[in-house]
Structure 1
Amino acid sequence: MKSYIQALREKVGSGLLLCPSVAAVIVDSDGRVLLQEKASGEGWSLPAGAIEPGETPVDAVIREVMEETGYPVSVERILGVFGGEAFRYTYPNGDHVEYVVTLYRCRIVGSQQPINDGETKSLRYFAPADMPDLGLPYPKALLFAASPASVSD
């Protein structure tokens, strides 16, 4: 089945799309943040992706983390919502997008499953001093913030 974004792209080409999306901050016991190295050569990213029609943001972040990392997660809290021109991105194929991203703090709740999405080259935890540049300008201080509080859907 074609994704919502693929269907839109067939109609608008590579023009700018406003895209509601989610991203996950997963921190290990040493305070390092989990990043995904993109197989497309785009570098490192938080596990993230578009919200599909009919999907809640919480369900979207749980799905995206599973697809891109193989880890089942629970959502602990919203860290922030970001957007505007700073969150515009051009993909290697020329597609333009402006993300409105809900950033969630998540916790791994089970064993890693095989990754079959074709988007992930590798996964790695990064400490603040070793954090690579990301495609979108999330505030680094927020990524490494203190322990989360609980949230409900």
Structure 2
Amino acid sequence: MIRRYGEPLRQGQRYRRRPGVYAILLDGGDLLATHQAEPVPEYQLPGGGIDPGEHPVAALHREVFEETGWRIAIDRRLGAFRRFTYMPEYDLWAEKLCSVYLARPVRRLGPPSEAGHQAVWMPVEAGLELLGNPGDRAMLARALGVPGRGRQSGPR
């Protein structure tokens, strides 16, 4: 069973499954995250939805580049979690299936190309507190080998 984080399910609400890939990008004691300004300002792990027919690893490279301007080297898949949420930018109630990879930033090629995103370096300890999604915080804690952060909700 995949762990669920975040908002509880809304009874009677239909959700569309939306697979996505995200990266924990570590360089020494620092984490490369993205700050998304809209719809609610928050720090996030770089990543996003997998397009139909797209391989998850190709999607991860594309999403990280769009949101940070960096090329990456993927070390390994850490795991997955899911969350149920409303995505106002798509007017969509989604069951997000989030696969998370441990990766390294290799080369900055320019600024993020995705509007509203800014690449942000922070100490990894700050990421445990600042990442806006409890699933992101829990996966970062797993990558660092520290007790989990981020409340889990619902059955495991």
TM interval, shorter chain, is 0.7 to 0.9
Structure 1 segment 7-86 matched on structure 2, within 5 A: 16-30=15-29, 32-40=30-38, 41-83=40-82
Closer, same or farther: CA 111–42 of 1 in aligned 2, 3 Å: closer
| Bigger proportion of residues as strand | 2
Structure 2 residue aligned with 1:118? 115
Closer, same or farther: CA 122–66 of 1 in aligned 2, 3 Å: closer
Asked if the contact 1:79–1:104 (Cα under 8 Å) also holds between the matched residues in 2, the reply is yes
Structure 1 length-normalised TM: 0.73
Q: What is the number of equivalent residue pairs in this alignment?
A: 129
Query: Aligned partner of 2:59: which letter?
Result: A
SS, match of residue 122 in structure 2: strand
Closer, same or farther: CA 122–26 of 1 in aligned 2, 3 Å: closer
Q: Deviations over 1:77-99 (max 9, x none)?
A: 0000222xxx1122345531111
SS, match of residue 64 in structure 1: helix
Structure 2 residue aligned with 1:144? 144
SS, match of residue 88 in structure 1: strand
Regions of 4+ moved over 3 Å: none
CA RMSD between the two structures: 2.3
Closer, same or farther: CA 15–119 of 1 in aligned 2, 3 Å: farther
Structure 2 length-normalised TM: 0.72
Which whole-Å CA distance do the structure 2 matches of 1:33 and 1:143 have between them? 11
Structure 2 residue aligned with 1:91? 87
From 99, 108, 129, the counterpart of 1:102? 99
Q: Deviations over 1:26-67 (max 9, x none)?
A: 01212x322211020341110010011121111111110000
Q: Which runs of 5+ in 1 are unaligned?
A: 1-13, 147-153
Which whole-Å CA distance do the structure 2 matches of 1:125 and 1:112 have between them? 19
Which whole-Å CA distance do the structure 1 matches of 2:143 and 2:92 have between them? 27
SS, match of residue 58 in structure 2: helix
Asked if the contact 2:21–2:60 (Cα under 8 Å) also holds between the matched residues in 1, the reply is yes
SS, match of residue 75 in structure 1: strand
Asked if the contact 2:36–2:116 (Cα under 8 Å) also holds between the matched residues in 1, the reply is yes
Closer, same or farther: CA 141–97 of 1 in aligned 2, 3 Å: same
Asked if the contact 1:69–1:112 (Cα under 8 Å) also holds between the matched residues in 2, the reply is no
Which whole-Å CA distance do the structure 2 matches of 1:129 and 1:70 have between them? 21
Query: Aligned partner of 2:142: which letter?
Result: L
Asked if the contact 2:69–2:119 (Cα under 8 Å) also holds between the matched residues in 1, the reply is no
Structure 2 residue aligned with 1:5? none
